[in-house]
Structure 1
Amino acid sequence: MSKKILIVDLFAGPGGLGEGFSSFTCAGDRPFKLATSVEKDPKAHRTLTLRAFFRQFDQVPEEYYEYVRAGDPSLREELFRQFRSESDAAVEETLGGPSTLGDKEDDKRIFSRIRAALENHEGPKVVIGGPPCQAYSVVGRARNKGIEGYTLENDGRARLYREYLEVLNEVEPEVFVMENVRGILSAKVNGQLIFDQILKDLKKPFKSVGRSKGSEYEIFSLVSPLPQADVLDNRAYTSSSDFLIKAEKYGIPQTRHRVILLGVKRGLLIREPEILDPSPNICLTTADVIGDLPRLRSGLTKIENTPESWQGNLHDAANAIRRMLEELNERLSLPDGFPLNGSGASLVSQGGNFVPFDAKMGGFAFPDESLRKWFWDDRIGGFLNHSARGHMPSDIYRYLFASSFAQLNDGASPTSRDFHPDLKPKHKNWTSGKFVDRFKVQARNRTPSTITSHIAKDGHYFIHYDPAQCRSLTVREAARIQTFPDNYFFEGNRTEQYSQVGNAVPPLLANKIAQIVYGILN
């Protein structure tokens, strides 16, 4: 009989929540075991299965590292064939292929796997996951307003939390964790706040899916203590925002604000659960988490993509930007050679699937040893998924201006009104105010912005702070900000990798939540 705490991971993406729970350790033991991970996107599922394979080993074989360094999808089958029992376990955990909750045929496979995993299990069970959030997000709702006939109540994505309820009713876990965007707090259906209904449904999932009996749950915040903590039967949070986690306050290098609900089976608790421990003395900056990564030149589109062409374009851009900065603000005092000071001329590599570690770069940028241990794996010998995307020459001018501006203004990015007329994009409504922060620098000395799936479409909101590199963030840099360990390999092409990273829950935050869940169950 298994004594592990079994995890059912729904809407898993590339596995951020699952990674945080499965990597949690207590006295040298890893008490959480992923029984089932459900994901419908083929490329995210491919990443998910590879990570499930990684977790099967106490000592990960060298063949895994050879595969991720090579980045050749055709070698994956050979890797799995060499370690058949481990790969079979990984494939079983991830259901043998992409699966969609709510699809009748897929549901048969999903629920069959869940029942099989629970059949001989005597220990606690936990359900984790976040239903897709596009229908609830502020940006998504703004876009949907422009769709003729659109209503939130008819958006299938807005109903996916009902599938989450079905699984809760099936598993009847001791604890569940549900994550979503902050927009869910203000979204309405038929004039009523949907969040109030979600809380009601989660307290009695069986009733919400039309059953007559089942487990009931108490819903807790992970960051706000209850006002009446000593009165177990009379507890109420004062505001729905009590459920909002601002990740940067808890040692996560990102201003990511998400709603995360902690559900505990009624009757299990004898006291209020712990909450996340704020980290007032740890305010991680962009340089803290990506400063050690190899410096890369951006690629070029529209013109020949060679180091020589890039250097010539950058030289011309540097001279133009210097004049523009002086023209825009005579008070700026530009140092000699600013912004490049000759450093850009040596950059010839765009990076790639694997970039070897360069000992000449010196030590690591991590501010403390625990963070270094979380990210670093010296068996890789370098960095994975570290490839710079290509940019149009006109955007390279804009990126160089934006990063130079931020360097001169204590990390502040330029707004649309700060752009020189020669740099303004040819958008009809550029001056309307809608593009006020269209070009955003992830400043060296500030906490990075939220990594979102939009990074897959363009890099304008994720500009590297180093003017000499003149590019947007790579997948690995975005993954660092999302706190994925360096040995976490993202499958698919670069656009698909960006989407996976942007849609994920930061594993380090999930790891901190796992500690609270473990405390409840012990």
Structure 2
Amino acid sequence: MTAIERKITRLRSGRPLRVLDLFAGCGGFSLGFQAAGCEIAAAVEFDADAARSHGANFHPGDARHSIARDITTTPASALTASLGLGDASLAFDILIGGPPCQAFARVGRSKLREVAEHPEAFRHDPRARLYIEYMQYVADCMPLAVVIENVPDMLNHAGHNLADEISEVLTGKGYCCGYTLLNAAFYGVPQMRERMFLIAIHSSLTADINFPEPSHWIDLPPGYEGARSVALKLLNGMQLFRPNPWYIQPPVAVPDLPAAITTRQAIEDLPAIDARAQLREGTLRRGARRFDQAVSYAAISVTAYSTMMRNWPGFPGAADLKDHVIRYLPRDYALFARLSPGDQYPQAVKKAEEMFRERLELLKAQGKAPAAGTKAWDKLRASIVPPYDPGKFPNKWRKMEADAPSRTLLAHLGKDGYSHIHYDSAQARTISVREAARLQSFPDGFVFSGTMNPAFKQIGNAVPPLLAKAVARSVQAQIIAGIMQPPVRLAGGQR
């Protein structure tokens, strides 16, 4: 009996699907699959803080799961041996995750199949190493399904449609593949985050790939449609020469679905943080923002979404929060208060210049205004007006709109959080770690290892758990359907 057959037999007895998360981060992908009823058996993550977060949330008390591991030096057999999971070919049913897209692009289409078939020839090539190890895990673990998430540019990266190239290799390994673009806002996440998802299911279980139907609706801003068009440009061009066997049109959301979850619905019940008041009081200072100060929830109405975040099965929120911390940005708090919802960096610079002129007029009335062109004048201006050229950085800042989902959270949020300025001018600040987690759909009981900046990075890099849950349910249903009623096989192996 093959490994695939043994896994199918096991699942027919009612056992849960076991998941291995590669390039796992803190575990957004894992959390979604766990919420769908899967067992998170193991993860591989290189970043130490993210690995500790994953271990603390999915295997509390077992230090083996909190160890940072490098996939290039950790073969599947070593991973399962270190975790007591036995034979790698039998340990996992689903492999999820996705290496950085550069790991695929640097190999190139002409080499991908050769790498897959003869990996030793390229094992010492740093351009191919992550791709080699990823595909080696597929070969060694023989999963029933593989699920990959990545940025939309994976469909048009340096002249490559990497999703096509991966699908070609996985098809050669016996999988039925399909990929599409999904926006998190259509799946109950209060964030307009567009990502590519690729699902590969062993061909003994299915002849078609399906993606989850949307649960919510929003009329996405034009910028998202433009970004999608750029991502699909290479694919659409190739469609003129041959139909694509793997690309699937995204499921369509319709206006009669519930409206997308808004930023206000997601975070309004969290405690207010008056940044300017904290600055005056001296409680907000420069330095690492640790999670050692507890604050209570706000006494305000709780939405259905925030109730879900407070009461996620297995991750209930406590009576207070310890990661509701913000960046130290003393120059800009007053400017944040002046911005209107939707304002970006050009509007911010314009209003900062107004503030600078107002300060000069005030100092002039007091007889203290510095002369233009002096060091004192330059210093005063620098204390009010941000230094970047608005023509070069038009999207560097954005004040969020309360009654719309947030824009995409990025990994560098801890170092450049101006993309998510809180909609409440009275608070006049960028969002906190816990607010970012809410916008990504992490429950309040999910803990992040490290200090503020590592936590922001983990959140920005994660797959939104609610989107992951929708994908997981779809994959799970397709596997179970295949187990119960395998596709009819015709002569010659056709279906």
TM-score normalised according to structure 2 size: 0.68
Task: Give yes or no for contact 1:135–1:157 (8 Å, CA) kept in 2.
Answer: yes
Q: Does residue 1:397 correspond to 2:331, yes or no?
A: no
Q: Does residue 1:384 correspond to 2:342, yes or no?
A: no
* CA displacement at 1:507 relative to structure 2: 0.9
Match for residue 332 of structure 1? none
Aligned partner (choices 148, 164, 168) of residue 200 of structure 1: 168
Aligned partner (choices 439, 451, 471) of residue 493 of structure 1: 451
- 192 and 37 in structure 1: CA distance in 2 versus 1, 3 angstrom threshold: closer
Tell me, what secondary structure is at the counterpart of 1:110?
helix
1:91-490 equivalences under 5 Å are 91-92=63-64, 94=65, 97-103=67-73, 109-110=78-79, 112-113=81-82, 116-118=85-87, 125-133=93-101, 156=126, 160-188=130-158, 192-204=160-172, 215-221=173-179, 243-269=180-206, 272-273=209-210, 275-280=212-217, 281-298=258-275, 305-307=279-281, 353-358=292-297, 361-366=299-304, 373-374=311-312, 380-392=318-330, 394-402=331-339, 405-406=340-341, 411-413=342-344, 415-416=346-347, 418-421=350-353, 422=356, 424-427=385-388, 430-431=389-390, 433-490=391-448
Greater alpha carbon shift after TM alignment, 370-379 vs 246-255: 370-379
- 450 and 91 in structure 1: CA distance in 2 versus 1, 3 angstrom threshold: same
Task: Give yes or no for contact 1:353–1:386 (8 Å, CA) kept in 2.
Answer: no
Task: Give yes or no for contact 1:438–1:461 (8 Å, CA) kept in 2.
Answer: yes
- 513 and 443 in structure 1: CA distance in 2 versus 1, 3 angstrom threshold: same
Match for residue 474 of structure 2? 516
CA distance in 2, matches of 1:299, 1:247: 33
CA distance in 2, matches of 1:375, 1:462: 28
CA distance in 2, matches of 1:508, 1:309: 35
Tell me, what secondary structure is at the counterpart of 1:434?
coil
* CA displacement at 1:299 relative to structure 2: 6.9
CA distance in 2, matches of 1:113, 1:477: 36
* CA displacement at 1:202 relative to structure 2: 2.4
Task: Give yes or no for contact 1:133–1:157 (8 Å, CA) kept in 2.
Answer: no
AA partner of residue 173 (structure 1): P
* CA displacement at 1:469 relative to structure 2: 1.0
CA distance in 1, matches of 2:316, 2:42: 30
Tell me, what secondary structure is at the counterpart of 1:442?
coil
CA distance in 2, matches of 1:399, 1:182: 31
- 107 and 368 in structure 1: CA distance in 2 versus 1, 3 angstrom threshold: closer
AA partner of residue 297 (structure 1): D
* CA displacement at 1:267 relative to structure 2: 2.4
* CA displacement at 1:502 relative to structure 2: 0.9
- 291 and 117 in structure 1: CA distance in 2 versus 1, 3 angstrom threshold: farther
Q: How many residues align?
A: 376
What's the RMSD between the two structures over aligned residues?
3.3
* CA displacement at 1:374 relative to structure 2: 3.7
AA partner of residue 79 (structure 2): I
- 378 and 220 in structure 1: CA distance in 2 versus 1, 3 angstrom threshold: closer
Tell me, what secondary structure is at the counterpart of 2:412?
helix
Match for residue 119 of structure 2? none
CA distance in 2, matches of 1:259, 1:187: 13
CA distance in 2, matches of 1:381, 1:15: 23
* CA displacement at 1:170 relative to structure 2: 0.9
Tell me, what secondary structure is at the counterpart of 1:397?
helix
CA distance in 2, matches of 1:113, 1:454: 33
Q: Deviations over 1:321-346 (max 9, x none)?
A: xxxxxxxxxxxxxxxxxxxxxxxxxx
- 378 and 121 in structure 1: CA distance in 2 versus 1, 3 angstrom threshold: closer
- 353 and 469 in structure 1: CA distance in 2 versus 1, 3 angstrom threshold: farther
Task: Give yes or no for contact 1:187–1:195 (8 Å, CA) kept in 2.
Answer: no
- 165 and 378 in structure 1: CA distance in 2 versus 1, 3 angstrom threshold: closer
Q: Deviations over 1:52-92 (max 9, x none)?
A: 234xxxxxxxxxxxxxxxxxxxxxxxxxxxxxxxx2xx334
CA distance in 1, matches of 2:320, 2:264: 18
Tell me, what secondary structure is at the counterpart of 1:169?
helix
Match for residue 40 of structure 1? 46
Task: Give yes or no for contact 1:290–1:365 (8 Å, CA) kept in 2.
Answer: no
* CA displacement at 1:246 relative to structure 2: 1.3
Percent identity over the alignment is: 28
Match for residue 28 of structure 2? 16
- 275 and 388 in structure 1: CA distance in 2 versus 1, 3 angstrom threshold: closer
AA partner of residue 97 (structure 1): I
* CA displacement at 1:395 relative to structure 2: 1.6
* CA displacement at 1:49 relative to structure 2: 1.0
* CA displacement at 1:275 relative to structure 2: 2.9
